[in-house]
């Protein structure tokens, strides 16, 4: 794999990791929001149940007090009936018996209502306990899911940090290589500049020599011409 392909693969992996991390962070936030909502709902349900239990206990106490009052009244009426039995007529005895029967029926109805209220309270308490157990199990499972998600995020973060460190090392190595190559090119450029300066100097010297040779050639041609003229004059003479 070439360095360019390796760098491209690393960039793709970092992009995928960033997307996965964003998705996991979004899921974690949603899960924590659900947990918070469930906890709030559980607290509200607990408060409502406590209020209902308080009302039910108050009602039970009121019914118990009423039953106690009715029982005391029945006992009192029985005592009065026993004391006044010789002096009472048959109609009064029948009336007292009817009152006692009605009070006994009211007491039985109050006891039955009290038993029903206690049964409803027990059923509601059992339902609340089961609901609390279910909510606690759900909260525990959600907390475990959050812990697992945080563990996954830690692993992914560790992998990303390792990849970033490896890429930083590779980039640093490339920077050092580029710096060495730049220094080598700069040295080559300096050498070329020195060579060009030397060539320019040599060219200037050669041009000066060529100019001197041209001047000598002109001087030689002038002397040659003068010699030819002298030869002509000598021949004529």
Establish if 147 belongs to a structural domain. yes
Neighbours of 24 (CB within 10 A): 15
| Residue 220 within any structural domain of the chain | no
**pTM recorded for the entire structure:** 0.37
Per the domain annotation, does 116 fall within a domain? yes
Q: What is the spatial distance between Cα 96 and Cα 83, in angstroms, rounded to a whole number?
A: 13
| CATH code of the domain containing 31 | 1.10.287
Answer yes or no: is 212 within a domain: no
Look at the chain and report how many structural domains it folds into.
Answer: 1
pLDDT in tens, 83-134: 655 544 556 555 655 666 676 677 677 778 777 877 877 787 777 778 777 7
Q: Is residue 217 part of a domain?
A: no
> Quick one: average pLDDT of 200-221?
88
CB burial of residue 59 (10 Å; 0-12, 13-18, 19+): middle
How far apart (Å, rounded) are the C-alpha atoms in residues 111 and 74?
A: 14
Q: CB of 107 within 8 A of CB of 67? A: yes
Domain ranges, residue 42? 3-199
């Amino acid at each position: 794999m070439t360095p360019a392909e390796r760098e491209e693969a690393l960039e793709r992996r970092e992009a995928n990791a960033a997307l996965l991390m964003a998705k996991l962070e979004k899921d974690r936030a949603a899960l924590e929001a659900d947990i918070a909502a469930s906890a709030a709902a559980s607290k509200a349900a607990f408060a409502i149940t406590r209020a209902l239990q308080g009302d039910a206990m108050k009602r039970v106490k009121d019914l118990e007090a009423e039953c106690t009052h009715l029982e005391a009244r029945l006992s009192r009426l029985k005592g009065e009936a026993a004391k006044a039995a010789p002096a009472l007529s048959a109609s009064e005895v029948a009336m007292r018996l009817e009152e006692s029967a009605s009070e006994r029926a009211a007491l039985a109805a109050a006891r039955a209502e009290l038993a029903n209220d206690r049964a409803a309270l027990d059923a509601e308490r059992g339902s609340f306990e089961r609901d609390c157990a279910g909510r606690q199990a759900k909260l525990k499972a959600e907390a475990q899911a959050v812990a697992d998600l945080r563990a996954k995020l830690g692993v992914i973060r560790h992998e990303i940090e390792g990849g970033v460190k490896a890429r930083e090392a590779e980039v640093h190595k490339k920077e050092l290589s580029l710096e060495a190559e730049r220094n080598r090119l700069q040295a080559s450029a300096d050498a070329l500049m020195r060579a060009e300066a030397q060539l320019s100097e040599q060219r200037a010297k050669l041009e000066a020599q060529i100019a001197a040779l041209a001047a000598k050639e002109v001087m030689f041609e002038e002397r040659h011409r003068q010699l030819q003229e002298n030869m002509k004059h000598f021949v004529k003479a």
